[in-house]
Amino acid sequence: MRLSIVVALASLLTSGCLATSHSPGDPVPLEAFCEAFFDALCGPIETCGCSEAAAESCRSEQRELCRGFPSDALVAAVAEDRVLYDPVAASVLTQRLRSRGCEGFVESLEWQVRDLFDLGGTFHGTRGAGEPCEVLGFELISECELGSCASVAGGAICRTSVGGGERCDRTHQCVDLEGTLTSATGIGGLVLRCVEDSPGAESGVCSRYLTEGEPCETDAACWNGRCVDMRCEARPLGAECVTSRDCATGLYCRERACAVAGAPDGRSCESDAACASQFCIADVCEASWCGAF
């Protein structure tokens, strides 16, 4: 889950060892969260037979994403209870990651989509839909409750996530909140569509996308964006494509043409979508537990 699905997560320019003031099992103070998280995330990658490139990729994410974490803005938001930080939940999260063995990051957590928005209860925003906000770290942490901080003209506002059958509009985004996150689906595969009440309406109802072969009336109703002869139709092997979403099951978009996906570990690759594990690191498919996100 590259959290950009997912989204992204964090760390310091140091070696990544836990701070001496924090021991596994203790509540994790805010200033130690980033380092503790990445030690738990990267440790198994470094001991489960993954390549040096995979281990370095994880530590590189650490150096890039946690530089300056926590920011002054996040510290202030926590102090003012605009963001509720739970050091016990942070400890539970890091312990689960540390003890997962050679199992994928996402799979080991068994998270639903709703868990992603507050990192398993670690960071909980308090502002509702339409309220002003600021992204405070990890590209996920903000003052927003169960949602994201979305850029709009003149600033940013909270866009709250709602599930199937609920009302949606410019401040309520459709997501399968009860859907289980996996490396294969990521967050993209669990997004729902907002079906307008009438053409051009500013609100509607959340509904799942129609899949290949299902009856349809418009391109927008289909996951792959193609409604042909009243059926959702995906592009076959060799057909022109823009994204992997255009291609039929088992295919992905490579150099603007649908190609066979599902390459095994050790096979050369040019994107995550080419690999059965969904992790292409240094142009080689790696096992699912070798990927950071």
Domain limits, the chain:
30-208+262-290
Mean pLDDT by runs of 10 across the 293 residues of the chain is 34 28 74 94 92 94 89 96 97 94 87 91 96 88 93 92 96 94 78 91 94 93 92 95 91 96 96 92 93 76
Tokens of 48: 């489960």
Q: Please, are residues 112 and 178 in contact by the beta-carbon 8 Å criterion?
A: yes
pLDDT score, position 153? 87
Coil, helix or strand for 194? Answer: strand
pLDDT score, position 200? 84
Q: What is the pTM of this model?
A: 0.82
pLDDT score, position 23? 54
Rounded to whole angstroms, how far apart are CA atoms 127 and 201?
A: 26
Which amino acid is present at 163?
G
pLDDT score, position 24? 57
| 8: phi then psi, degrees, rounded to nearest 5 | -140, 170
pLDDT score, position 190? 87
Alpha-helix runs per DSSP H in the chain: 30-47, 52-65, 72-79, 87-98, 105-109, 113-117
> 120: alpha, beta or left, given left = phi > 0 and alpha = psi -120 to 50?
left
pLDDT score, position 22? 46
